Amino acid sequence: MVPLKRRKTVPSDTGSTGTDGGPTRFPQVVLFLLERKMGASRRAFLSKLGRQKGFQVEEVFSETVTHVISENNYGDEVRTWLHSQGGGPGRAAPVLLLDISWYTESMRAGRPVEILDAHKLQEQQTSETEVVLFLVSSYACQRRTTLDNQNSTVTDALSLLAENAELSEEDGRGVAFRRAAAVLKALPATVTDTSQLRGLPCLGEHSLRVIREILENGASSEVDSTKQSERFKALKVLTGIFGVGAKTADRWFREGIHDLHRLRASGQTLNRAQQAGLDHYDDLNQPVSRAEADAIGDIVRNAVVSVSAEARVALTGGFRRGKPAGHDVDFLVTHPEEGREVGLMPKVVSWLESQGFLLYQKITRNSYLESKDGPGRAASNMDRFERCFSIFKLPEGENRGAEEPETENASRTETARRWRAVRVDLVVSPISQFAFAQLGWTGSKLFERELRRWAGHEKAMSLSSHALYDNKQSRYLRAASEEEIFAHLGLEFVPPSERNA
């Protein structure tokens, strides 16, 4: 199908009048001329001609339109456009889709002529076998989603709308957009027409409207306006400060704080985390490379081994899923002997501080008790492990990958410091919960959400980053590996590299 060109929206000042602004001669007929393939100047000329003949010709499509006139378009193309305007099957009164020939004959006759079959739009002769349809499972945890995204233009747009919804604390709408994006990420080929999406799950009307507009016009007006929104741009900047959430950013925005300069001049009282986030804003909003993550991993392992030779350290998060870059680095620490992990965190943090690797750190204690706080309680994406939220001071020599050798011309006066700040989370888990913790901290966030949804809706189980509980049998299901957890859930094992929903 040839993409539909986005029509220009022009306010109408003559839409309900005929010659010289007088009343229309045919009030039961309300016309709209589709600009696609007709062109703006020809459409303007024909619209003016129609009004001079006493026809009501609208500039903007609305519920009052009874006849849509197009030139050189197929019926399915115009119906696709009509659906994007809210004029689909659910419309109170169906709209007639007519060829330009009916309009010109009506102009010659000076009245609406009888509608013949020849005046009706023809259907595109496309065999069903020529349309590539996709099939995917309803749950993201049943799908294999690699980093090879064939529909990034569309998924990036949906993700941006999800982010905007989340910044507005409209989590339900955000999840809907992210589920729609996840479906498209899992497709093995590029979507070229919305007909290929028939029967796919998680694609609501709003998401489909955005997808359709991008496929037809190459862009989404809603996405474009969101990008230009002062509120969105301000909240993006403010939530980019470590320690600042959507609520705080929204409050600051309403107080007139739209950027870092205004925040610094406002005299706002910041907590330790926010002050550190503001101090190191540029570094923390620069992507962390895989080479940098590996360098930090070496430092963390040295710290852990220095306090316990038997303890284990595992890289989690996006880097475990194979991502080449991320916004932070996550590590999971455990000990092969249950209980020996207790007390590790303060010692590891103390070692890192003594070596000058920490610019900021905050430790939270483990508050999870299986007997009291098991996964039978209300589902939550937040676990209760002992963890350290930190900002690392990564020396320059540690963060340069093999592809970035120092050159003779590298200016020593460009910067006085030879390090960069990086966000790092350290999490300590008992060995009995390690498989669940590793699964939960590997992500992606939507993949984990879908795992929990599958467990609850399909298996009557409760899954968290601590444990899996069978509500029917009233017992915990133990697991020493991620493979065992998937088996308990009746799911085919999905390796980390294919969890990029």
222 and 242 share a domain?
no
234 and 91 share a domain?
no
Domain assignment of residue 411, yes or no: no
Which tokens hold the place of 501?
């929903």
Domain assignment of residue 3, yes or no: no
Rounded alpha-carbon distances, angstroms, from residue 193 to 76, 173, 180, 199, 214: 11, 24, 16, 14, 10
Q: Which of 328, 373, 383, 470 is catalytic?
A: 328
Domain assignment of residue 196, yes or no: yes
Q: Decide if 246 contacts 235 (C-beta within 8 A).
A: yes
Pairing label, strands 67-70, 96-99 = parallel
Q: What is the mean pLDDT of each run of 10 residues along the chain (501 residues)?
A: 44 43 80 84 90 92 91 83 67 83 93 92 64 83 96 98 96 96 96 90 93 93 96 98 97 97 96 98 98 98 97 98 98 97 97 98 88 55 88 82 40 65 98 97 96 95 94 95 98 97 95
Report the sign of the C-alpha dihedral through residues 183, 189, 194, 198, in that order: negative
Domain assignment of residue 432, yes or no: yes
Question: Distance of alpha carbon 406 from its chain centroid, rounded?
Answer: 37
234 and 221 share a domain?
no
Which tokens hold the place of 63?
């519920």
Task: Give the per-residue pLDDT at 131.
Answer: 60
447 and 348 share a domain?
yes
Q: Which of 99, 250, 283, 330 is catalytic?
A: 330
Active site residue 328: yes
Q: Decide if 280 contacts 303 (C-beta within 8 A).
A: no
Tell me the C-alpha distance between 117 and 164, whole Å: 47
Residue 255 domain boundaries: 229-279
106 and 69 share a domain?
yes
Output the domain CATH number for residue 272. Answer: 1.10.150.20
Task: Give the per-residue pLDDT at 41.
Answer: 81
Domain count, the chain: 4
Task: Compute φ and ψ for 293, nearest 5 degrees.
Answer: -60, -40
Domain final residue, candidates 79, 101, 125: 125
216 and 241 share a domain?
no
Burial of 144 (0-12, 13-18, 19+ CB in 10 A): middle
State in Å, rounded, how far the first CA of the chain is from the last one.
29
Active site residue 330: yes
pTM, rounded to two decimals: 0.72
358 and 455 share a domain?
yes
336 and 379 share a domain?
yes
Q: Which of 76, 279, 425, 470 is catalytic?
A: 425
303 and 370 share a domain?
yes
Active site residue 283: no
Domain assignment of residue 331, yes or no: yes
Domain assignment of residue 499, yes or no: no
Q: Decide if 383 contacts 437 (C-beta within 8 A).
A: yes
Report the sign of the C-alpha dihedral through residues 98, 99, 105, 110, in that order: positive
396 and 459 share a domain?
yes
Domain assignment of residue 150, yes or no: yes
Rounded alpha-carbon distances, angstroms, from residue 492 to 54, 107, 451, 483: 67, 65, 12, 9
304 and 266 share a domain?
no
